[in-house]
Amino acid sequence: MWKHEGNSAMSADDWWRYGTVYQIYPRSFQDSNGDGIGDLPGIARRLDYLVTLGVDALWISPIYPSPMADFGYDISDYCDIDWRFGSLADFDALVADAKSRGLKLILDFVPNHTSDRHPWFIESRSARGSAKRDWYLWRDPAPGGGPPNNWLGNFGGPAWTFDEATGQYYGHSFLPEQPDLNWRNPEVRAAMYEVLRFWLRRGVDGFRVDVLYHLLKDETFRDNPPNPAFVAGGDPSHSLLPLYTTDLPGMQQVVREMRGVVDEFSDGESARVLIGELYLPLQRLMAYYGATKSGLLHGVQLPFNFQLISADWQAAVIDRIVRDYEAALPPGAAPNWVLGNHDKPRIASRVGPAGARVAAMLLLTLRGTPTLYYGDELGMTDVPVAPDQVQDPLERNLPGKGLGRDPQRSPMPWGDGANAGFTDGKPWLPLMAERATCNVASEACDPRSMLALYRHLLALRRRDAALNSGSYEALTGGANVLAYARTHGAQRVVVLLNFGDDDVPIAQTLLPPDAVVLASTGMDRNGSPIGASPTLRAHEGLVLATAAATG
């Protein structure tokens, strides 16, 4: 069994500040029983892979009982495991297995909506006078008939569905099968905080909180204004500005309460963490770190910073993003960075194979907690899905707009055998065509593979205090070159990332004295002195330090 040797700066309290998070989309990671769907025993079987990779925490997308209208983001019981993924016993075993390897386990908490099959909603919908009526958003039709206001669902169509039996509409930010809970109701809050406690008692180390910014809606249900920037033919949910449906006043109080619940379980042994899913402009994002109380921030420890996911892939653009983000962070806040997730096209498809290596070096050398999406460490690309094979409800509802999320959810290729070692059955989504070369077993044998690069960078980040917890200093790299330094005490590393198609000379002023390459994206210069006339090759990234300082 493999176990972490520890992290240079990491203590029990702040593993989330200096560690690395790895997102597992459980349907697609490892199947253990031949039904073509990944499961908990499958994940357990691959823990050693994750230790060898060098990550610190796993975030697993939802594994609770679900009708799977939105593949687990429609939950019918918050306190159990879906039979497809296993059982509570499998879960407990996974927690124990992860802990024994020094890995943290983070669950997905989906507070905004339940499934329409959840007993709470069934009761709520049963009668206008039901005790749980106010647990969801029930409204009368508009005066002339039709939905109560103009709000739109994120997966197409109105955010309202009419319930014939009781003559009212219920609200849903996503599918009609995902009715929104009413977070203004104190009973709802109390029930949901009990859900957090249920899993915290079972030993989880924290939660990624799904669409955190959606929880509260306008108390008087005003219409959202039109979005002047909307381009016809785009995602129709973007035709309105979400003024009255997201990031409402009162959210900071909710966040403080949630944090209070996880803090009940944080002890000297280990801190429990909240990671917020927040697609918000920079200044609004910062608010979710919370206010300072006795010198500490009391919001979510890691409000997801998704800027790299949508950025134009140019050195100058990224440089600006990083500088602005660093400048906007409140004192004591932990920065974080994300390149991809189960909702967005994969980085290797966005920026190409060489660009994806530079992106990996960026993610793993910036200041802040990186979150890796499973398979990105292999250079996985989006896998096209034939129209009649589409699984994602977003693509089914709004076909052909390029919104579908199946391509980035393709099963993990573990080897070059049948079904890439993912399943003995028929995989629920098609495997990557390139799986003969893009798979764990092959890449593990190739010292220059993407996997080798990820392992090397993760090990370096773990070992090197400057990379792990050093300060960030923007440098001027020149056109197409992003340059920065990370410094911790006497230790300083310089990162140079060439986003361009041309080789460029490296200015002597950028180089640490007596510079040696700690990591090169090509994995062909590690340990070499940079030399007298140093060059950064096209689409190359380098981590440099002074030879003497590297031991």
Instruction: Considering only the stretches 26-34, 211-219, 290-298, 396-404, report the one whose residues sit in contact with Ca ion under the rule CB under 5 A.
Output: 26-34
Say whether 458 sits in a helix, a strand or coil.
helix
Nearest of 187, 188, 142, 204 to residue 168 by alpha carbon: 142
Residue 7 falls in which region: left (phi positive, over 0), alpha (psi -120 to 50) or beta? beta
Residues paired with residue 505 on neighbouring β-strands, in sequence order = 535
Contact call for residue 73 and ligand GLC (CB under 6 A): yes
With tokens 């499934």, the residue in question is 115
Do you know the residue count of the chain? 551
For residue 80, the minimal CB distance to Ca ion (Å) is 17
For residue 60, the minimal CB distance to Ca ion (Å) is 14
Paired sense of beta strands 160-163 and 273-276, if any: unpaired
Does 264 qualify as catalytic in the annotation?
A: yes
With tokens 């689409």, the residue in question is 539
33 vs 227, which CB is nearer to Ca ion? Answer: 33
Angle at 422 between CA 374 and CA 439, to 5 degrees: 60
| Contacted by 39, from Ca ion, ligand GLC, none: CB < 5 to 8 Å by type | Ca ion
How far is 15 from 304, CA to CA, in rounded Å?
16
3-state helix, strand, coil in the chain (%, to 5): 30, 15, 50
Contact call for residue 40 and Ca ion (CB under 5 A): no
Structure tokens at 39: 């499961």
| Contacted by 73, from Ca ion, ligand GLC, none: CB < 5 to 8 Å by type | ligand GLC
Where is 464: in which H helix or E strand? none
Does 164 qualify as catalytic in the annotation?
A: no
Cα-to-chain-centroid distance, residue 460: 22
137 vs 315, which CB is nearer to ligand GLC? Answer: 137
CA distances from 59 to 6, 43, 74, 98, 403 (A): 20, 11, 18, 12, 24
Contact call for residue 174 and ligand GLC (CB under 6 A): yes
Helix and strand tally (H, E) in the chain?
Answer: 15, 20
Phi/psi for 466 (5° steps) reads -65, -45
How far is 381 from 345, CA to CA, in rounded Å?
8
89 vs 296, which CB is nearer to Ca ion? Answer: 89
Structure tokens at 74: 């429609």
Contact call for residue 33 and Ca ion (CB under 5 A): yes
| Contacted by 211, from ligand GLC, Ca ion, none: CB < 5 to 8 Å by type | ligand GLC
Contact call for residue 210 and ligand GLC (CB under 6 A): yes
Binder among 16, 27, 31, 211 for Ca ion (CB under 5 A)? 31
Contact call for residue 211 and ligand GLC (CB under 6 A): yes
71 vs 155, which CB is nearer to Ca ion? Answer: 71
For residue 535, the minimal CB distance to ligand GLC (Å) is 42
For residue 33, the minimal CB distance to Ca ion (Å) is 5
For residue 422, the minimal CB distance to Ca ion (Å) is 10
Contact call for residue 39 and Ca ion (CB under 5 A): yes
How far is 100 from 314, CA to CA, in rounded Å?
42
In the set 194, 219, 264, 524, the catalytic residue is 264
Helix intervals (H) in 398-485: 440-444, 450-463, 465-469
For residue 34, the minimal CB distance to Ca ion (Å) is 7
97-116 residues near ligand GLC, rule: CB under 6 A: 110
Contact call for residue 35 and Ca ion (CB under 5 A): yes
345 vs 522, which CB is nearer to ligand GLC? Answer: 345
In the set 90, 210, 319, 395, the catalytic residue is 210
- The DSSP letter of residue 157 is S
Contact call for residue 192 and ligand GLC (CB under 6 A): no
276 vs 368, which CB is nearer to ligand GLC? Answer: 276
Nearest of 221, 208, 223 to residue 138 by alpha carbon: 221
| Contacted by 464, from ligand GLC, Ca ion, none: CB < 5 to 8 Å by type | none
Binder among 70, 180, 377, 382 for ligand GLC (CB under 6 A)? 70
For residue 410, the minimal CB distance to ligand GLC (Å) is 15
For residue 419, the minimal CB distance to Ca ion (Å) is 12
66 vs 468, which CB is nearer to Ca ion? Answer: 66
CA torsion sign for 382, 388, 394, 398 is: positive
209 vs 348, which CB is nearer to ligand GLC? Answer: 209
391 vs 487, which CB is nearer to Ca ion? Answer: 391
For residue 31, the minimal CB distance to Ca ion (Å) is 4
Q: Say how many residues touch Ca ion, by CB under 5 A.
A: 5
Contact call for residue 343 and ligand GLC (CB under 6 A): yes
| Contacted by 406, from Ca ion, ligand GLC, none: CB < 5 to 8 Å by type | none
Phi/psi for 388 (5° steps) reads -80, 0
| Contacted by 35, from Ca ion, ligand GLC, none: CB < 5 to 8 Å by type | Ca ion
- The DSSP letter of residue 289 is T
How far is 382 from 380, CA to CA, in rounded Å?
7
Burial state string for 519-530 with b = 16 or more CB within 10 A and e = fewer than 16: bbbbbebbeeeb
- Residues interacting with Ca ion, by CB under 5 A? 31, 33, 35, 37, 39
Question: So which residues are the catalytic ones?
Answer: 210, 264
- Residues interacting with ligand GLC, by CB under 6 A? 70, 73, 110, 174, 210-211, 277, 342-343
